[in-house]
Chains A and B, each alone.
Chain A
Amino acid sequence: MGFFNRNNKQKKSGFDAKSRLKLVLYSEHQGLPPETIEQIKTDIISVISKYVDVDIENFDIKISPDGKLAGSNGPALQANIPIREKKIKRI
């Protein structure tokens, strides 16, 4: 099984190359290189942490060419910000 999987994966390296390239060029064209995304992530965490306890480990932010899910016709920044429920502040 492992052998087959590895073989299968090797066959797709050309495909991997294209999809990795598309993503890296996309973020470069948007002026949002990984460093900037990381900075945005840090900033969001610091803001939201004032109010809720953010699950930093599972925090994920990425730029996507297809922003339909976010209600955009163009690209979108997608952030998944899990919070630890028990620590939500009650007003």
Chain B
Amino acid sequence: MGEVIVVTSGKGGVGKTTTTANVGTGLAKLDKKVVLIDMDIGLRNLDVVMGLENRIVYNLVDVIEQKCKINQAFIKVKGYSNFYLLPCAQTRDKTSVSPEQMKTLTDTLKKEFDYVILDCPAGIEQGFRNAIAGADRALIVTTPEVSAVRDADRIIGLLDANEVKQYDLIVNRLRMDMVKRGEMMSAEDVLEVLSINLIGIVPDDENIVVSTNTGTPLVGSDSLAGKAFMNICHRVIGEEVPFLDLNKKGGFFSKIFGKK
């Protein structure tokens, strides 16, 4: 039996879709059977971040409405034997799907896959409720900003209330140069405020923009963000991996972070 993981944050624009794409791709690189589900009905983006936007035939709402079989809606990711995207509908809205229907779907999928990863929409309304309905665990993405951390705290409360018992924090877009100047909260600061388990720290890295431009997740590449995402994947499957030392690479860092 596989695991259903929801990637969520409350606040928009903190990197849920990028995280979903990279963690999913990383787990596939670790030879896991993975399916990604875009839950942001009406504002789909996981397809473009994965570089699969031209191959969509059916979508999640078609599956729920039984207009096609699940397998027909899957888009196979090239280069992997067991890695798929289930895209969502772009011309419908969040009410096209119910939490009960999503739970039934993810319960079915986790019999076939090691990991079912859901890209949750921003907000705490129906889209969120759909995304967490069948989730076994959550990856909560935040950035070191007051608005994102406050929303992450609210999400933690809602996950608790909805019996999603396991959740881990990803601090995304950390800028060590700013942390050193005291102008950004450190990952430790964020942890102190939220007091939950940390599963990854992803530095702000312009390579993320480049990878999104081309639709190829950078997980596993030599970039700092690529390494950070791969480490998260190892931790997701239960391995202990030390956190990247973001302080010691002064020269490299100034190259990445020096530009404003």
Binding site for B on A (CB under 8 A): 10-15, 17-18, 20-22, 24-25, 28
Contacts and interface: CB of A to CB of B under 8 A. Distances in A.
A14 B116 CA distance: 36
Interface in B64-115: none
Given A14-B189, A28-B153, A21 B183 contact: no
Contacts of A12: 182
B184 interface: yes
A25 to B, nearest CB: 5
B192 interface: yes
Nearest to B145: A17
Which of A10, A12, A25, A28 neighbours the largest number of chain B CB atoms within 10 Å of its CB? Answer: A25
- Looking at chain B's contact residues, the main secondary structure is helix
A14 B185 contact: yes
Interface residues of B, number: 18
Contact of B146 (A10, A11, A17): A17
B57 interface: no
B249 interface: no
B183 A22 contact: no
B184 A14 contact: yes
B176 to A, nearest CB: 12
Interface string B175-201: 000110111111001001100000000
28 contacts: A10-B183, A11-B181, A11-B182, A11-B183, A13-B182, A13-B183, A14-B179, A14-B183, A14-B185, A14-B186, A14-B189, A15-B182, A17-B184, A17-B185, A17-B189, A18-B185, A18-B192, A18-B193, A20-B146, A21-B146, A21-B149, A21-B150, A21-B193, A22-B193, A24-B150, A25-B153, A25-B193, A28-B154
A19 to B, nearest CB: 10
Contacts of B144: 17
Contacts of B192: 18
